[in-house]
Amino acid sequence: DISGNFHRVVETIRRARDDLGAHVVVFPELTLTGYPPEDLLLRPEFIDRVARSVSELLPQVRGIDVVLGHPMRNGSVLHNTASVIANGQIVAQYSKQLLPNYAVFDEKRYFQPGTQPCVVAMRGVKVGLTICEDIWEPHAVRQAVDAGAELVLNLNASPYDTGKDRLRQEVVRARAREVRRPLIYVNLIGGQDELVFDGGSQVVDSDGCVVQRSRFFEESLDVVDLDTSRGTVHPVGGSIEQPPEPPESIYRAVELGVRDYVNKNGFEGAVLGLSGGIDSALTLAIAADALGAANVQAVLMPSRYTSSMSITDAQAQCRVLGVEFRLLPIEQPFDAFLKTLSPLFANLPLDTTEENIQARCRGVLLMAISNKFRRLVLSTSNKSETAVGYATLYGDMAGGFAPIKDVPKTMVYRLARFRNSISPVIPQRVMERPPSAELRPDQKDEDNLPPYDVLDPILSQYVEQDRSVEEIVAQGFPRDVVERIARLVIVNEYKRRQAAPGVRITPRAFGRDRRYPITSGFKF
């Protein structure tokens, strides 16, 4: 949103200068476009619009210096750039040197790397500029200090995953200690499709000690005071926000991801199917927290196999949260499908076909509500189900966004307990009863899958760590179970290709992170 970001930058400059009395304001990586712009960067008119916005910004920068991240075209070459603007002019520019091309990053597809340091005097302080990945290796920071930098700035768009905040802190502290210079690390905030940027901007002194840190998952404009009276640059320090630990950090990441996806894409709220099970119960709580209860609608769609307990618990949760709910039984459409198919299915036994028809009846109803009322359908599948295909294509997988798509089932329960520790909104019985799809009589998830406390560790190693079957079996897991799970992961790749995007919370999510061929002769 180049225009929207431009106006936010202008207002932030005004606040920093007029309200806070700041000398310099620093924005994150690629602020003008948002991160990652992906193939928009290949469109000439997109880059032209960025260039015009930078030009339009220049006359508005008076009485304060600005460090701004944006893409910059130099002839036929595109750089990931940080510009220093002072008194209506660009006085220095730095091009990112280390371009990440792993996990969710593919910057080498778009940008050419820079090679030179950039050190610029701002209010008497020699400041070295770096961008995100530059700080993960010593070279760019050392290069800036060798060029005279007394202070290092690092502009970031570093997405959240569990444990990422600790890793960032270790890296920033290590770079500061290596060059004996203070370092200011500025990170992006907000949700962009699957990615959530969690902030946690920080200041470390020349000893590598964290002396100031901003909030996580909340945008803020914070003043950093620097003492230069002793001939060196010394950050005075300020409030140090503590990073939330899982499960709180995961909950907040998913909440932020849902809020920004729904609002930035112009939906008038969200709708989801509420089954009385733990996955949809957690998704409903997240949606209500993210969007406000008035902007969420729950739909209860019982079938002939749905227990009265499921309906009771689902209704109870809606009442506690203040969420509107509708009861739309699917018996009539389900029966209509069975009658229509009966000439084809005559004398054939019931199997997963009939189970899937129920799920698809629900998908049709939810999508109809979405179309009519412009509410985004939130699908409720978790990572464990997504991995092994324990979900129905065009059924419970139907939807525009999947909040807990990257959340393993065992973590689903932890998130539910965390949310209930704030205020009890998920019925206790929902968390205690054995999970079931309720698509046939007395069905339980463990009829088809190993217990989740066995399944999830296997999936973590096979999917997220790329461990082989042999390596996993060597840790004591039964070979037949491991081989079966690996086979399910492989054969269900086609389903995952058709799944809705969802918030990434692990270092290896399906989709942007883990890209495997559907057609493959490689089995394990």
| Length of the chain measured in residues | 524
In angstroms, the CA 218 to CA 215 distance is 6
- Judge whether 192 and 34 are in contact, CB under 8 Å: yes
Q: Which of helix, strand or coil describes residue 240?
A: strand
CA distances from 231 to 125, 182, 206, 225, 358 (A): 10, 14, 14, 15, 73
96 is a catalytic site residue: yes
Among 96, 383, 405, 409, the active-site one is 96
**Each residue's pLDDT tens digit, 470-484:** 999 999 999 999 999
For 77, the enclosing helix (H) or strand (E) is strand 77-86
Q: Which of helix, strand or coil describes residue 325?
A: strand
Q: 482: how many CB neighbours lie within 10 A of its CB?
A: 24
In angstroms, the CA 424 to CA 438 distance is 25
Torsion of CA 264, 265, 270, 272, to 10 degrees: -120
In angstroms, the CA 216 to CA 524 distance is 39
Tokens of 153: 């700035």
Among 107, 118, 132, 383, the active-site one is 132
The position carrying tokens 């320090």 is 237
255 is a catalytic site residue: no
- DSSP calls for 416-437: HHHHHHHS--S-HHHHHSPP--
Helices (H) and strands (E) in the chain, counts: 16, 18
361 is a catalytic site residue: no
Q: Which of helix, strand or coil describes residue 86?
A: strand
| Strand order, beta sheet including 376-377 | 324-327, 296-300, 270-273, 376-377
In angstroms, the CA 143 to CA 140 distance is 5
Q: Report the amino acid identity of residue 122.
A: M
For 162, the enclosing helix (H) or strand (E) is none
Cβ-Cβ contacts under 8 Å for 371 (sequence gap 6 or more): none
**What is the pLDDT, as a whole number, of residue 468?**
96
In angstroms, the CA 109 to CA 104 distance is 12
Ranges in the chain, pLDDT < 70:
none
